[in-house]
Structure 1
Amino acid sequence: MPNTWKHISGALGAMILGSLVTGAVMTMPGFMRNDPGAQDAVVGQSVPAAGQFGQATPLPGQNLGAAQDLSTAFRNVANLMRPSVVSINTKATQIVRGQRLPPGFEQFFNIPEGQPQRREESGMGSGVIVRSDGYILTNNHVVEGADELEVEFSDGKKAAGRIIGTDPQTDLAVVKVDRDDLKPAQLGNSDAIQVGDWVVAIGSPFGLDQTVTAGIISGKNRIRGIIGDGAGFEDFLQTDAAINPGNSGGPLVNLRGELVGINTAIMSRSGSSAGIGFAIPVSLAGPVLNSIIENGTVRRGFLGASLGPVNEKTIEGYDLKTTRGVLIESVLEGMPADQAGIQPGDVVTAIDGRPMKTHAQMRNYVASRPPGAQMLLDLDRGGKALQVRVDLKERTEEVMAQFGSGEVMGAELVPVTEATARKYGYQNLEDGLIITGIKDGSIAERDGLEVGDVIQTAGGLPLSSARQLEVILEEYKRQQQPCRVTIRRGNQMLLMVVRE
């Protein structure tokens, strides 16, 4: 399975640590040959003769106590965690077709034109055992598209794995093997870990299983837009522990041997470790793991409010009386936030006693709670402190689509989703806005639009929200230009020109 790259800034890129395609034995810089009869030498140093090696002694004035204690801590963590770490080998079969060649060219590989061919790809990643009865947590991109999984344990045994569930929005997956004698990792508290704390990463970089590296937590709450093209849930721990391709899905643990993160991505110019690695914290991974095991999929809580930052612009625009928290920009009618009395302009300062600093942090926390869960929100409303309790609903395509719904030209619009398309008899719709109602005397009625019509493009641009359509029409109106709008009605494609 190929590596996936996402450019972040300049020459730097963030790389989701994908699979390592194998099939050849390579010598690599920094590896010493082990040929029989070869003479080893260290440049600039003499090699002592046999029997001349002595007991290492500290230099005068050195106190190695602290260093030896740290070394012992690393060794203990490695010994504790190795039985809980696995390598995951994947196989995927792709169907490719022979290309038609221009006249005069010969088919070099002797593949009949247009005939499907099978091509197998192999990859490797890591995983961590989370239950003694065979449940393993890893990255979604490690197992995505795989037809076969083979899990290799620290004792050398191998077992077939099957995917229980995946969550592309966090890049997590749960794999199951038929063994009940496994040693699970202990989940730690990733919220409590601090920048500067020591951590250990274990995995199979470049196929070298049970590799242990150490470093510190370099940063927290990193959001890099790596997962889901920026639409996923991210709250990365950053570490300088060496992480390389093949480490994906492996554990990041503290010095108590507790799992605090799942190694997922690196920033690198070369594709290898540059000292900037990212791990999904267990505070985000834990609820996903539990939901997949219990339901086979991930069920997330839904608040029904759009969130924004508290900064100079919003402080002035909303006349806020606080400089910290998360701004409520809008509230969906009839949804949990509305039912709890939350209003646009409120600032959420804490949820369940946890301070809320960014809207991404609050979004992640709400989504980590199951449907039906109750949350206690601390609010600032015009300088007055309030507390409200909210009963979450379930985050679904249908309720999320309401954020893109609205009224334009007198037509009530909802974004296309699998459910809304099916409701109005459409298949294979990927974008657009479905008309669910039309006001009497409106532009939509005047121009002959009907309930069930799909507004697919405006000004040549595909549509995903009513606000987007509104902005496009306003711009054409400002330029005093007509806007061409394409409409789908059943199997027909219609063109409407909006001139006002």
Structure 2
Amino acid sequence: MQLHWKRISLVLASAWVATLLFGLMMSLPRAVNSEAHADQQLRDRAATQNLNTAQDISSAFRNVAEVMRPSVVSISTQTDVSSRARQLSPNLRQQLPPGFEQFFGNGGRRGRSMEPQPQQQGQGSGVIVRQDGYILTNNHVVEGADIVTVELSTGAKVEAEVVGTDPETDLAVVKIDRTGLQPVPFGDSEAIRVGDWVLAIGSPFGLDQTVTAGIISGKNRVQGIVDDGHGFEDFLQTDAAINPGNSGGPLVNLHGELVGINTAILSRSGTSAGIGFAIPVALARPVFESIIENGEVRRGFLGAQVADVTPEVVTEFGLKVSKGALIRGVLEGQPAANAELQPGDVILETDGRPVTTSSRLVNYIASRAPGQSVQMKINRHGEELNVTVNLQLRTEKAMAMFSPRSPWGAELEPVTPQSAKEYGYADLQGGLIVTSVSDQGIAAEAGLQAGDVIETAAGRAVESVEQLTKILAVAKQQQVPLQVVVRRGNTKMLLVIR
């Protein structure tokens, strides 16, 4: 009997173990399925979050495009080539280094015959910056135009007045006789960072209200393409697709704020290659405000020659800093000297903004109005000092103090009633009078003499030494001789400067 119960216990125990094993085996797939289900839920949540993020970005693009639409305009120009061909500056496209294109919007006619036509048309873009009809665009969009027409987002076409231009930044302000317009708010191009989203809006190839998206690819680009390489540049670089006709249009952030004016692209084909350049608002806004207030651009003048701080310069001058703008020279009696700045000083900050290159310093000074004060932090032999500089007006005469002799060996000055009388001229209306010619130089080789009056160069009337110097630079770049019309006494003659 005892043995019987032992057998029964063994049978029951075996059955219990079998039941337990069976239960474990049955529960294992459920556990695996549960883990797989949890993983799938995580993936679904991640996908939903990613989709929501993408939809948020899409909504941001859509909202900015919608709110910007009334503020973006198309600009068309008409020029009487037959009467103005000799007065216009050379086409900016011809002045650009290989690979650069301005956005002239020639409707895809690149490569066709360049024979002059009686009427030449151009196209670009612009952005409304004041509700009373003021529009910001590029200088090269409206330069030399006889008729400028603005087309609003409603389709209405209005003839515009060119209020002022600034070739040194390639900016222009035009105005239409309308009120109640929707201006775009100005953003902070200094605060924008590489990687931030931006939208480019304009009329590429005549397709108005075209919106493209991209990011800020780089900042503080200096390419030497504005005003024959003598202009002010601090470009924002973007990969937002921009093409001919976008020139003068806005580059905006996702808040719908203006951060730049689209100006040029780097391309071998003449169309977008993902490298575009926009004038930052920090540079454009002071130009716009000065044109509105003064009818021209008035810039601050420091009166100092500056250079980049490079490793070579640090070693050569024994500097204690590796960034900033080095003062190489100071003009007596000018703002820098009056503030007791010295050669060898390194400017680190202006009004709390870091100075990383000499070009950024020059741009900032030029963006300030004459009479304004600029707070500077400088390093002098390892010691940091704070200096206040009171800026003066930047004029051609002031700039000539840096290099009083022209690059081709002659002393020139704009004709005045006094100088005309001194050299025996009774009816001069303008031009540059030659006050002296060096024994050596291209001016002497061309046959220029003291007392000559240069009236035109490359078919353009000349009124300043700076203007003539730029025309000469273009001729050298294009490797063509420069033809100048010179008056000598009662005789006019054509001379060639090579």
Whether TM exceeds 0.5 here: the answer is yes
Task: Quote the residue 1:416 is aligned against.
Answer: 412
Q: Percent identity?
A: 57
User: Superposition pairs for residues 42-441 of structure 1, below 5 Å?
Assistant: 62-63=47-48, 64-95=51-82, 119-405=118-404, 416-418=412-414, 423=419
Q: Secondary structure at the match of 2:64?
A: helix
Q: Is the CA contact 2:411–2:437 (under 8 Å) kept in the aligned structure 1?
A: no
1:416 counterpart letter in structure 2: L
Larger Rg: 1 or 2? 2
Q: Is the CA contact 1:201–1:253 (under 8 Å) kept in the aligned structure 2?
A: yes
Task: Quote the residue 1:475 is aligned against.
Answer: none
TM-score, normalization: structure 1? Answer: 0.69
Do structure 1's residue 455 and structure 2's residue 455 form an aligned pair? no
Gaps (5+ residues) in structure 1? 1-57, 98-116, 407-412, 435-451, 466-487, 494-500
2:68 counterpart letter in structure 1: M
The change in CA–CA distance for 1:369 and 1:255 in structure 2 (over 3 A counts) is same
Task: Between 283-292 and 150-159, report the one with greater CA deviation.
Answer: 150-159
Q: CA deviation at 1:61?
A: 7.0
RMSD: 3.0
Q: Is the CA contact 2:300–2:365 (under 8 Å) kept in the aligned structure 1?
A: yes
How many aligned residue pairs are there?
371
Q: CA deviation at 1:358?
A: 0.3
The change in CA–CA distance for 1:275 and 1:372 in structure 2 (over 3 A counts) is same
Q: Is the CA contact 1:202–1:252 (under 8 Å) kept in the aligned structure 2?
A: yes
Task: Between 82-91 and 318-327, report the one with greater CA deviation.
Answer: 318-327
Q: Secondary structure at the match of 1:238?
A: strand
Gaps (5+ residues) in structure 2? 1-42, 85-115, 449-464, 467-485, 492-498
In structure 2, distance between residues paired with 1:247 and 1:228? 19
Tell me the alpha carbon deviations over residues 98-155 of structure 1, each in whole angstroms, 9 at most, x when there is no partner.
Answer: xxxxxxxxxxxxxxxxxxx970011110000000000000000000011001111011
Q: Secondary structure at the match of 2:376?
A: strand
1:362 counterpart letter in structure 2: L
Q: Is the CA contact 1:405–1:414 (under 8 Å) kept in the aligned structure 2?
A: no
Q: Secondary structure at the match of 1:256?
A: coil
Q: Is the CA contact 2:410–2:436 (under 8 Å) kept in the aligned structure 1?
A: no
Task: Quote the residue 2:496 is aligned against.
Answer: none
Q: Secondary structure at the match of 1:220?
A: strand
The change in CA–CA distance for 1:181 and 1:92 in structure 2 (over 3 A counts) is same
The change in CA–CA distance for 1:251 and 1:221 in structure 2 (over 3 A counts) is same
Q: Is the CA contact 2:410–2:438 (under 8 Å) kept in the aligned structure 1?
A: no
TM-score, normalization: structure 2? Answer: 0.70
1:339 counterpart letter in structure 2: N
The change in CA–CA distance for 1:235 and 1:420 in structure 2 (over 3 A counts) is farther
1:286 counterpart letter in structure 2: R
Q: Is the CA contact 1:74–1:255 (under 8 Å) kept in the aligned structure 2?
A: yes
In structure 1, distance between residues paired with 2:318 and 2:56? 54
Q: Secondary structure at the match of 2:290?
A: helix
The change in CA–CA distance for 1:490 and 1:132 in structure 2 (over 3 A counts) is same
**Higher helix fraction (1 or 2):** 2
The change in CA–CA distance for 1:118 and 1:390 in structure 2 (over 3 A counts) is same
Q: Is the CA contact 1:348–1:377 (under 8 Å) kept in the aligned structure 2?
A: yes
Q: CA deviation at 1:320?
A: 1.4
In structure 2, distance between residues paired with 1:422 and 1:177? 41
Tell me the alpha carbon deviations over residues 403-431 of structure 1, each in whole angstroms, 9 at most, x when there is no partner.
Answer: 0138xxxxxx9953436897576777669
Q: CA deviation at 1:492?
A: 12
In structure 2, distance between residues paired with 1:420 and 1:329? 34
Q: Secondary structure at the match of 1:257?
A: coil
Task: Quote the residue 2:28 is aligned against.
Answer: none
The change in CA–CA distance for 1:422 and 1:323 in structure 2 (over 3 A counts) is farther
Q: Secondary structure at the match of 2:365?
A: helix
In structure 2, distance between residues paired with 1:422 and 1:68? 71
Q: CA deviation at 1:60?
A: 10
1:256 counterpart letter in structure 2: H
Q: CA deviation at 1:158?
A: 1.4
Q: CA deviation at 1:454?
A: 3.8
Tell me the alpha carbon deviations over residues 281-333 of structure 1, each in whole angstroms, 9 at most, x when there is no partner.
Answer: 00000000000001111000000000111123322332212111100000000
In structure 1, distance between residues paired with 2:133 and 2:487? 51
Tell me the alpha carbon deviations over residues 71-116 of structure 1, each in whole angstroms, 9 at most, x when there is no partner.
Answer: 000000000101000000110001179xxxxxxxxxxxxxxxxxxx
Q: CA deviation at 1:453?
A: 2.8
In structure 1, distance between residues paired with 2:193 and 2:384? 29
